[in-house]
Amino acid sequence: MVTAPEHASGFALIARGATADSDFGEARAELRQAEADRGLNLSADAGAGVRKVSSESRTSSHTLGLDGSIPLDVSGALADRERAAGLNLVARQADAAQLRSDLARDLLLAAIDGAEALQRRALLDRQTQLAAQLLRLIELRFTQGLASSVDVL
C-alpha cells in the first residue's frame, strides 16, 4: 500500500520532470558551444571615414579586414570539454528515462493500491454482513432457549 511519504516522492518526481526540459536545453547548449569552440572562427570588419582638415583639403580612408583562426587543441582540453558536454547530455537523457520509469512505477503502484483498497473494503463489508447474520442466529437461538453458554458469550 502506498504511504504518504511515497506520495510525496511521487510529487517530487513530477516537479523534477517539469524542469527536465530546461535541463536538456542547457545540456544541448553546452554541447553546441563546445563543438563551436573547436571549429573555425571567422570575423570580418570594414570601415570608412572622411576627414576634412581645411576647406580645400579632404582626406578619406577605407579599411577592410578579415580575420580567421583555427584553434589548435594541443593539450586536448577542447576535445575533452566537447566529450564531457556530450556525456552530460547522455546522462541527462538517462535521468529523464529513469524519471519516466519512476513515474510509471508510481502510477502502477497507486492503481494497485486503489484496487487493493476496494477489495479490502468489499471483504470487510462481507465480514460485517456475516457477523451481523451470525449475531441474529445466536439471538434467535437464545430467544428459543436453544443457545449454549458459548453462544451467549
Please check the confidence at residue 93 and state whether its pLDDT lies above 80.
yes
Residue with cell 502510477: 107
User: Which range in 104-108, 111-115, 135-139 is most confidently predicted, on average pLDDT?
Assistant: 111-115
Average pLDDT along the chain: 77
User: Which range in 23-27, 40-44, 112-116, 141-145 is most confidently predicted, on average pLDDT?
Assistant: 112-116
Please check the confidence at residue 125 and state whether its pLDDT lies above 80.
yes
The pLDDT of 103-131, averaged and rounded, is: 93
Residue 135: how many CA atoms within 13 Å on its side-chain side? 6
The pLDDT of 87-108, averaged and rounded, is: 86
Q: What is the pLDDT of residues 17-69, one digit of tens each?
A: 667 666 777 888 888 888 777 766 666 666 666 666 666 666 667 777 766 66
Distance in angstroms (rounded) separating the CA atoms of residues 34 and 28? 10
> Which pLDDT score, from 0 to 100, does residue 115 have?
95
Q: How far apart are the first and last CA of the chain?
A: 36
